[in-house]
Amino acid sequence: MHTLALDQIYSKYPRQYSSLRSEMAQAFDIAIRRARLRGHGDRLAEIGIRDGRIKAIAERLDGKGATEIDACGNLVTESFVNPHLHLCKVWTLPMMEEEALKAYQSMDRAMAGIELASKIKEKYAESWIVENARRAVALAALYGNLHIRAFADIDSKARLEGVKALIRIREEFRGIVDIQVVAFAQDGIVREPSATELMHQAMGLGADVVGGIPWIEFTSADAAAHVRSCFDLAQEFNKDVSMLLDDASDPDLRTLEMMAVETIRRGYHGRALAHHCRAMSLYPMPYVQRLARLLAAEVPHGHVDPGVGEIPVSRNCSRRMSWSASARMTFPMRITPTAATTCWKSPSSPRTCCG
Ligand SMILES: [Zn+2]
């Protein structure tokens, strides 16, 4: 269906072709005209959407849309996915000292950066977080980012203010932007005594994903306990797990391995997502090879944030762990295939065609 040579391809199959043509002749909810598609050069296409799904892509649609959109020859793509956004912290830069940002961007001082930034959380209030998050998600929608995994800090300073705000925003944008709220134990679980109870309350409030950061604990034993605690909670509420792992210049960090082992042990295939993992770039090669075998056996699916620090793991992994960049860099969010598309006129004026 995703080709401009539809007539030619289906000319070999007249019966199927005729039923397809008759389906295509039906009215569409949305018809997009004069759309440029990736991989098709300057040729323009038309896209027919019905019941939230793309039903036809052809040079010329047989049928009209209840809503007709002229893409004016601009690129039409799938919507973008952001699997890692600290949505409770957007627009808070003026509230924190520049020092916190500089420290986090230096891989050697990532933990110091997190601790400096955490001062803001003493001022956390659902009311202003909602305002900031609304502004960010509205912008995301305008730029075609219609799926967001959104982290909300859960700890003694942030309490439940962030998660309550993001749940409100999730409901507000339902049907426009698909938001998964992650209850995220940013300051640790073992070293943060109230975190376990608060995380439980956050899941009870309706968070979608259990979020951890085991490398931030003070010992390896505590990190392992943190991982187990997240999986326990995820199993109790039948939710997925997302963890920020090994995000410092310490080649001895091993929380990606811990998460992989726990994923296998609990049969949590496809429901665990690993983020950051910057220490992978420093591992000795024999360990890289063993870890690659473990991850190939089962995955916490990998996700790398571009530009979080001075040693982007993607650059190193593509050199050292090609599995990571190719076979395993997939994203397990359960995104319903939809007709959500974005017409791009220019970076400053994107237009969402449908949500
Ligand atoms: Zn992050």
Q: Is the pLDDT of residue 314 over 80?
A: no
- Give the pLDDT confidence score for residue 163 in this predicted structure: 98
Whole-angstrom distance, CA of residue 261 vs CA of residue 76: 41
1, part of any domain: no
Q: Which domain holds residue 128?
A: 80-325
Residues 277 and 218 in one domain: yes
Residues 150 and 213 in one domain: yes
Distance 24 CA to ligand 1 centre (A): 44
Q: What are the structure tokens assigned to 306, written together?
A: 């571009």
Residues 97 and 162 in one domain: yes
Residues 181 and 203 in one domain: yes
Cβ-contact 152, 183 below 8 angstroms: yes
- Give the pLDDT confidence score for residue 77 in this predicted structure: 87
Residues 71 and 154 in one domain: no
Residues 345 and 302 in one domain: no
335, part of any domain: no
Cβ-contact 143, 176 below 8 angstroms: no
Whole-angstrom distance, CA of residue 249 vs CA of residue 184: 22
- Give the pLDDT confidence score for residue 122 in this predicted structure: 83
Distance 350 CA to ligand 1 centre (A): 26
Backbone dihedral angles phi then psi of residue 15, each to the nearest 5 degrees: -65, -50
- Give the pLDDT confidence score for residue 63 in this predicted structure: 85
Number of domains present in the structure of the chain = 2
Residues 100 and 71 in one domain: no
- Mean pLDDT, the chain, whole residue set: 79
Q: Is the pLDDT of residue 208 over 80?
A: yes
295, part of any domain: yes
3-state helix, strand, coil in the chain (%, to 5): 45, 20, 35
Distance 85 CA to ligand 1 centre (A): 7
Using DSSP, state whether 353 is helix, strand or coil.
coil
Distance 250 CA to ligand 1 centre (A): 17
Give the predicted TM-score (pTM) of the model.
0.73
- Give the pLDDT confidence score for residue 107 in this predicted structure: 61
Distance 197 CA to ligand 1 centre (A): 22
Distance 243 CA to ligand 1 centre (A): 9
* Closest C-alpha among 10, 2, 1 to residue 38: 2
Residues 155 and 203 in one domain: yes
- Give the pLDDT confidence score for residue 307 in this predicted structure: 37
